[in-house]
């Protein structure tokens, strides 16, 4: 069985709920980044999640602990990212924090998996999107909460297929 770690930062609980759902699908417990250690960033598949705050910033706990990711040896490791945002209220910075996590992980040598189509979303700009694709799973519990579970389910199946 693959060693899967799900690490999240959550302020209002929505990212924590998504992380718990993702972790449960892999039979593991999600780890709040506020309580994470360097060893938590060692896995066969590392899944990182954050909500976006302010003008496209990381969630506060991630902002405080980003050094753990910046110093992790992710060379060749499979890493997937997910993010929560508000595509109506913050259409120009939708899920930017997910983009920050992805860019940081890639900079540490990670093999990023789990990209999803940006089709059907109502944002105008995102640091997490390029060429019509998000770098991971984009969720909007403010405006599309009814789509969250099905999006998570499809994404998890994709990740599991990549693990073999």
What pLDDT digit, counting tens, does each position of 113-157 carry? 999 999 999 999 999 999 999 999 999 999 999 999 999 999 999
> Residue 12: its pLDDT value, please?
93
Q: Strands 133-134 and 129-130, how do they pair?
A: antiparallel
pTM value is 0.96
- Reported in sequence order, the residue ranges of the chain that DSSP labels E, i.e. its strands, are 4-9, 31-32, 45-53, 57-58, 78-84, 111-112, 116-117, 129-130, 133-134, 137-139
Domain architecture of the chain: domains with CATH: 4-163 (3.40.50.360)
Summarize pLDDT for 63-106 with one digit per residue, the tens. Answer: 999 999 999 999 999 999 999 999 989 999 999 999 999 999 99
């Amino acid at each position: 069985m693959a060693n899967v770690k799900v690490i999240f930062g959550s302020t209002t609980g929505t990212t924590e709920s998504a992380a718990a759902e993702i972790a449960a699908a892999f039979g593991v417990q999600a780890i709040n980044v506020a309580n994470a250690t360097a060893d938590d960033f060692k896995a066969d598949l590392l899944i990182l999640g954050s909500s976006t705050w302010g003008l496209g910033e990381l969630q506060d706990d991630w902002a405080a602990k980003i050094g753990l990711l910046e110093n992790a040896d992710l060379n060749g490791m499979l890493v997937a990212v997910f993010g929560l945002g508000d595509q109506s209220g913050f259409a120009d910075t939708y899920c930017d924090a997910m983009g920050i996590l992805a860019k940081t992980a890639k900079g540490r040598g990670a093999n990023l998996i789990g990209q999803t189509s940006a089709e059907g979303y109502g944002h105008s700009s995102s640091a997490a999107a390029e060429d019509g694709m998000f770098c991971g799973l984009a969720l909007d519990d403010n405006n599309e909460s009814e789509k969250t579970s099905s999006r998570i389910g499809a994404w998890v199946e994709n990740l599991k297929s990549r693990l073999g």
